Amino acid sequence: MKCYYHENREAVATCNVCGKALCPECADKYNVPLCGNCASTEVTEEKNRIKRNMMIGGGLIVAFIVWNIIMGGIPISSSMSIGTILELISVPFILVCAPFGWGALNRITANTFMILPLIGWLLYPIVKAMLSLYVGLVAAPVAVIKYLKLKSNIESVEMSR
């Protein structure tokens, strides 16, 4: 079998997504064997996933602000405590990270776990939402770093052409 991009070279791997044959040079461009089109598509999909999660997180921040206004809010004055200041800074950050945590929990939750009694179905979203707040603190930076690495890898490959 010959390389999809270089007809004069023997293929040693196939693209993990589309199955195109890749020679050693093409197969070693990325961490996993990917053709150029699939790598670009993966970057675009990751970018869109990050944008979507950031928009959901922004919506959660707006909901948090509206909730505080309706419920009497956080009094903003010159005599605010350190705890109030930390809450004003940390809560929006945690809310932006929560959708990343939800997605990470979706990837690790086994399908067999979904067989729950009725009470489990009532508690599951609540527990998952609470866990996603904390898991998101790790999952969000990991997703952004993964995207930046893949993007820089693709840019360096394109520069070398």
Do 100 and 139 contact (CB within 8 A), yes or no?
yes
51 with 103, same domain: the answer is yes
pLDDT in tens, 62-83: 888 787 777 776 665 666 677 7
State the helix-helix crossing angle for 118-160 and 36-70, rounded to 10 degrees.
Answer: 130
Supply the pLDDT for residue 22: 92
Alpha-carbon distance of 49 to 67, in angstroms, equals 27
Higher pLDDT among residues 136 and 157, named by residue: 136
Which residue's structure tokens are 């093409």? 26
- One DSSP character per residue, the chain reads -B-SS-TTSB--EE-TTT--EE-HHHHTSSSS---HHHHHHHHHHHHHHHHHHHHHHHHHHHHHHHHHHHTT-----TT--HHHHHHHHHHHHHHHHHHHHHHHHHHHS-GGGG---HHHHHHHHHHHHHHHHHHHHHHHHHHHHHHHHHHHHHHHHHHH-
What tokens does 7 get? 């007809």
Could you tell me which residue, 97 or 30, shows the higher pLDDT?
Answer: 97
Q: CA 129, 134, 135: angle at the middle one, nearest 5?
A: 90
Structure tokens at 44: 């675009």
**Is 18 within a domain?**
yes
pLDDT for position 37: 87
69 and 7 both lie in a single domain: no
Number of domains in the chain: 2
| Least confidently predicted of 27-41, 58-72, 73-87 | 73-87
pLDDT band at 15 (very low <50, low <70, confident <90, very high): very high
- Which pLDDT value is given to residue 82? 74
Query: Based on the domain organization, do 57 and 30 belong to the same domain?
Result: no
> What is each CA distance from 25 to 9, 36, 90, 98, in whole angstroms?
10, 12, 46, 39
Q: Is the pLDDT of residue 50 over 90?
A: no
pLDDT at residue 23, as a whole number: 92
Inside any domain, residue 40: no
Q: What is the pLDDT of residues 102-152, one digit of tens each?
A: 888 888 876 656 666 777 777 888 888 899 989 999 999 998 888 888 788
Q: What range does the domain containing 104 cover? A: 46-160
Same domain, 59 and 103: yes
Q: Is 98 part of a structural domain of the chain?
A: yes
Residue count of the chain: 161
